[in-house]
Chain A
Amino acid sequence: MKKLTLLIKGTITEQKANQNCRECQTPCKSACKTSCTIGNQTCDQKKKKSRWIW
């Protein structure tokens, strides 16, 4: 039995292709205000369209 199983395949490498379109949100503008993280941010090109900011 395998002792190491991939659960979530991150996509950093794929994202290099369309990087830096600059439309993503700045973390400071997130719903957090004082301890924001970059890991919570979604690529604007992959974001579901919504009438709200988040």
Chain B
Amino acid sequence: MRPKEKEISLDLVKKQKTGVIHPFCFLDQAYIFDSSTHSLFLIDQTSLKQDGSLNLPEEDIQEYIQEGYFQSGLISAQPDKRCFKALCFMMTKQCNFHCAYCFEGPKKSLHQVLSTETAIEALRWIGDLSPERRQIEADFFGGEPLLVFDQVKEIIEQSDALSKETGKKYLFSLTTNASLLTPERLAFLNHHNISLIVSMDGNQTTHDHFRQYANQAGTFSDVWPAIQRLLQTRDGGYYIRGTYTHQTLSFAEQVMWMYEQGIKKISFEPVVSSHPEIGIQTEDLPFLKQEYEKLAEWTVRQKKRDPAFSFYHFELDLENGVCADKLMTSCGAGVEYLSLSPDGQVYPCHQFDDMPDYCLGNVHEKKMDTKKVEIFRKVTHLTNKTACADCWAKYLCGGGCIANNLIMKGSLEKPYAIACEIQKMRLEAALYVQGQLRST
């Protein structure tokens, strides 16, 4: 090896070790992801050796280095200017389903309902705390928010008047199990442009495995007619969101089944559970990798025929993504996002609800515990995530979900390794999909 070649080769090894570049093979293709610019390169398969090291001609690499690719340190730490943007309305903690994998678990104040006054007060307060922001988003969540549809309706209607008063735009979504989504309710939600996240796990056998009533009867037969109505009345503004578990790992075939039924917007995610028979285990990872490979290959074919199809986690936006400062941050818990409980208490996100140690304030008192908010500002920023420092995926993942860290590792800061592995295999699949859609 000539001296110059040796120098470049060593430099690439260093960049690979520090996560600046990520060479990987996915199905029959080899790629390099340049995390410093969010660019994707196709490489000749012979250039990626078995041990993961690269063997590329000097002139090919030099050309791109001169154009600014493969450089470390492009994203630098800027002052953190994040502000509150969104609320999760914990409308009620009651649910008509009794799904064994639900992260909500038993809650206090089960019979309280979030009042319209409290919700409107919170929208106004968040707007006051973030005067520079034009729009505030809120998700009706629970429990099952359609159990208290009258309140949901009232909040949506009253937000129009609030919007006129504050000049802010309020955008709503609703997360539901769909069993109570009557034609009249759907018509109201359609009329008011309320985006929907509908929880559903796939065909009847898979769905009914966990999504059951308290008497263990399956819920599919009550959910499916509502989803069919939804598909007949809108072509966007929804995601059917499935959960896969240790017992129901074959999510790729469920996505394909959903698409065959006419569902075009699909999201599937790993369960959050410390129960060994429900939560994803290390031994499940090779199977999950195959599932993402299968789904990625199928997604490329479908998207070429039907661009309206979307598998949420493959929709990486490398060309129109958020700015560099935002890429330094992970979930918005406690900094951009707050969960509002019926008693007016605010928590960093819906997964922290009812955890007194993490209560950040109260909407009625208009008080925010700034010390606690600072803790969340710190743990959701990449500059403080030492475990992520050399990871190639950090600017795509943002450092993961801190609620998962707490549930699975007992600490906001400790990354949950299984989630990291799933995240990385899912991101490689997403990069493959995006690369394939552009290469042909």
Residues of A bordering B, CB below 8 Å: 1-13, 15-16, 18-43, 46-47, 50-54
Question: CA separation between A33 and B139, bound complex, in Å?
Answer: 10
Evaluate contact between A43 and B322: CB separation under 8 angstroms: yes
Question: Given B78, B193, B312, B423, which contacts A31 in the complex, CB threshold below 8 Å?
Answer: B312
A47 to chain B, nearest CB (A): 7
* Interface pairs (13), CB distance under 8 Å: A7-B438, A8-B435, A12-B74, A12-B321, A25-B85, A31-B241, A34-B401, A35-B269, A35-B401, A38-B395, A38-B396, A41-B326, A42-B321
Task: Determine, out of B39-47, B117-125, B210-218, the stretch whose residues face the partner at the interface.
Answer: B39-47
CB within 8 Å for A10 and B86 given contacts A34-B103, A38-B326: no
Interface residues on B, range: 35 or more
B33 to chain A, nearest CB (A): 9
CB within 8 Å for A24 and B326 given contacts A7-B439, A29-B332, A34-B401: yes
Evaluate contact between B42 and A5: CB separation under 8 angstroms: yes
Evaluate contact between A13 and B398: CB separation under 8 angstroms: no
Question: CA separation between A34 and B88, bound complex, in Å?
Answer: 13
Evaluate contact between A51 and B237: CB separation under 8 angstroms: yes
Question: Given A20, A41, A46, A54, which contacts B239 in the complex, CB threshold below 8 Å?
Answer: A54
A46 to chain B, nearest CB (A): 4
B193 to chain A, nearest CB (A): 4
Question: CA separation between A26 and B126, bound complex, in Å?
Answer: 14
Evaluate contact between A40 and B41: CB separation under 8 angstroms: no
Question: Given A6, A11, A18, A52, which contacts B320 in the complex, CB threshold below 8 Å?
Answer: A11
Evaluate contact between B419 and A35: CB separation under 8 angstroms: yes
**Binary interface encoding of chain B residues 394-405 relative to chain A, with 1 for a CB under 8 A from any of its CBs, else 0:** 011110010110
Closest 9 CB pairs of A and B: A10-B38, A26-B332, A52-B237, A39-B396, A38-B398, A19-B323, A26-B336, A31-B239, A46-B320
Evaluate contact between A15 and B323: CB separation under 8 angstroms: yes
**Binary interface encoding of chain B residues 301-334 relative to chain A, with 1 for a CB under 8 A from any of its CBs, else 0:** 0000000000011011111111111110111110
**Binary interface encoding of chain B residues 234-269 relative to chain A, with 1 for a CB under 8 A from any of its CBs, else 0:** 001101010000000000000000000000010101
Evaluate contact between A12 and B37: CB separation under 8 angstroms: yes
CB within 8 Å for A29 and B439 given contacts A3-B44, A20-B323: no
Evaluate contact between B193 and A8: CB separation under 8 angstroms: no
Question: CA separation between A54 and B195, bound complex, in Å?
Answer: 8
Question: CA separation between A51 and B22, bound complex, in Å?
Answer: 37
Chain A residue contacts of B435, Cβ below 8 A: 7-8
B82 at the interface (CB under 8 A from A): yes
